[in-house]
Amino acid sequence: MLSYTEENYLKALLMLSFQNEERPEAGTNEMAAYLGVKPATATDMLKKLKEKELVTYQKYGKILLTELGRKKGIIILRKHRLWETFLYEKLDFSWDEVHEVAEQLEHIQSAKLVDKLEEFLNFPEFDPHGDPIPKANGDIPAIDKVLLAEVKTGESCKVVAVKDTSALFLQYLEKLKVTIGTKIKVLEVIDFDGSLSIQIEKEEARSVSMKFAESLFVKR
């Protein structure tokens, strides 16, 4: 049985590994920053997780999940994303409110609960942010996505996920009436600063920053 905190370390490591699939290992400071603790605290916990064979770790080295650790991490992530979906779809939570509560709900221990919840939600493949929800067997649905910033002038695409899930960005998206499934056409790319002029559904053209375009995943 893993503690609340141990679970958070595994999930953090899994999330960090997603950020750079080719180099999935993380550093101590990186972990600590992600979890909001001091590096010394992370070192302690990493030793403990190594004892439990959940991570490979050695002094001054990079950290990697073991097969077991990855499996456990995926279970937490599955729960997190199913709960987010529940809050969004059934309880009318907004895009930017679901994360905080799901952070707590993901630690509820009951295999039956997760599976029943998934069934209740009709086996969703993606959460409200467009992130894939791991299946009970650990498989993660693939999604064909590129950053909006990679879309060429004149091309149209459909929003499939958000890369930045901060409340500020999500609230901005809401203001722009952009959500998963929204159609966006790239009208012009300004090479000077990477900003672009886009058309959201059938609205007026508007300009968004490069930062914006690098925070949104779309399907061409």
Partner DNA sequence: TATAAAAGTTAGGTATACCTAACAAATACA
Partner DNA sequence: TGTATTTGTTAGGTATACCTAACTTTTATA
Pick from 67, 92, 144, 204 the residue near a second copy by CB under 8 A: 92
* Residue 140, amino acid: I
The answer to whether residue 82 forms part of the interface with a second copy (CB under 8 A) is no
Choice between 45 and 184, CB closer to DNA: 45
CA distances from 184 to 62, 115, 181 (A): 40, 35, 9
For tokens 């605290």, the residue is 41
Pick from 58, 110, 166, 207 the residue near a second copy by CB under 8 A: 110
For residue 134, the surrounding DSSP H or E stretch is: none
What is the C-alpha to C-alpha distance for residues 7 and 13, in angstroms, rounded to an integer?
Answer: 10
Q: Closest Cα partner for 159 from 112, 218, 90, 214? A: 218
User: Which residues contact DNA (rule: CB under 7 A)?
Assistant: 3-6, 27-30, 36-48, 57, 59-62
Choice between 106 and 131, CB closer to a second copy: 106
Phi-psi map region of 92: left, alpha, beta (phi>0 left; psi -120 to 50 alpha): left
Q: Which does 110 bind (CB under 5 to 8 A by kind): DNA, a second copy, none?
A: a second copy
The answer to whether residue 95 forms part of the interface with a second copy (CB under 8 A) is no
**Smallest separation, CB 76 to a second copy (Å):** 15
What is the C-alpha to C-alpha distance for residues 66 and 150, in angstroms, rounded to an integer?
Answer: 34
State phi, psi for 68 to the nearest 5 degrees. Answer: -60, -45
Q: Which does 27 bind (CB under 5 to 8 A by kind): DNA, a second copy, none?
A: DNA
**Smallest separation, CB 74 to DNA (Å):** 20
Choices 108-116, 138-146, 148-156, 176-184; region in contact with a second copy by CB under 8 A: 108-116
**Smallest separation, CB 45 to DNA (Å):** 6
The tokens of 86 are what?
A: 């529940």
The answer to whether residue 93 forms part of the interface with a second copy (CB under 8 A) is yes
Residues, the chain: 220
* Residue 159, amino acid: V
State phi, psi for 26 to the nearest 5 degrees. Answer: -120, 165
Choices 88-96, 136-144, 152-160, 181-189; region in contact with a second copy by CB under 8 A: 88-96
Residues from 113 through 152 that contact a second copy (CB under 8 A): 113, 116-117, 120
* Residue 5, amino acid: T
Footprint on this chain of a second copy (rule: CB under 8 A): 87, 90-93, 97, 100-101, 104-105, 108-110, 112-113, 116-117, 120
